[in-house]
Amino acid sequence: MSNSERAPLVGIVMGSRSDWETMQHAAARLEALGVPHEVRVVSAHRTPDLLYRYAEEAAPRGLRAIVAGAGGAAHLPGMLAAKTAVPVLGVPVQSKALNGLDSLLSIVQMPAGVPVATFAIGQAGAANAALFAAAMLASGYPEIGAALDAFRARQTEDVLGHPDPRA
């Protein structure tokens, strides 16, 4: 059974199918670390009722974190955070018009009391949000912690093993 078929611990959601190019990097990291997850398109503007339902059902369904990516007027992470106590990790998708600065500011400037952990614009943010979600789960799921430690060790070895950037 693949990690995306087991009862999900992490929900990856995005405002549009067009966000998948970015958000696939979150899914790939969770898959590699053996973190059960699901992937859904949930739009704050086009499917607001679905957004509410997703947020309300997140905790009872066992989700421990939601990685939410959106671009432009990126209200998805903030509105999810408004409707669930499950931690929301926001990923600003790089928009065409403003290169994702709009997305970043939309997500990061939450009012006190409704937190969204905000990551970098684009692919790096998606990858790091997934790694952060895995780190949040590590204390309760030792196998995820071990996978994260192994990933970090490989990453370090890779850098140390290739010290000459011309090679």
Measured from the CB of residue 145, what is the shortest distance to ligand RP5 in angstroms? 31
Other CB atoms within 10 Å distance of the CB of residue 75: 19
Residues 119 and 91: beta-carbon distance below 8 Å: yes
Residues 122 and 100: beta-carbon distance below 8 Å: yes
Which CB sits closer to ligand RP5, 46 or 152? Answer: 46
What would the x/- binding string for ligand RP5 be over residues 25 to 64, using CB under 6 A?
Answer: ------------------x-x-------------------
What does the alpha-carbon distance between residue 81 and residue 23 come to, in Å, rounded to a whole number?
Answer: 19
Which CB sits closer to ligand RP5, 79 or 144? Answer: 79
By CB atoms closer than 10 A (0-12, 13-18, 19+), residue 52 is middle
Which CB sits closer to ligand RP5, 68 or 144? Answer: 68
Query: Strand (E) positions, the chain?
Result: 10-14, 37-41, 65-71, 88-93, 117-118
Q: Which of 69, 60, 47, 48 is nearest to 122 (CA)?
A: 69
Binding to ligand RP5 (CB under 6 A) within 92-121 occurs at 93
Which residues make up each annotated binding site for substrate?
Answer: 16, 19, 46
What does the alpha-carbon distance between residue 73 and residue 82 come to, in Å, rounded to a whole number?
Answer: 16
Q: Which stretch binds ligand RP5 (CB under 6 A): 11-19, 81-89, 142-150, 159-167?
A: 11-19
15 binds ligand RP5 (CB under 6 A): yes
Binding to ligand RP5 (CB under 6 A) within 63-82 occurs at 70-72
Q: Which stretch binds ligand RP5 (CB under 6 A): 15-23, 47-55, 107-115, 121-129?
A: 15-23
Which residues of this protein are in contact with ligand RP5, per CB under 6 A? 14-16, 18-19, 43, 45, 70-72, 93
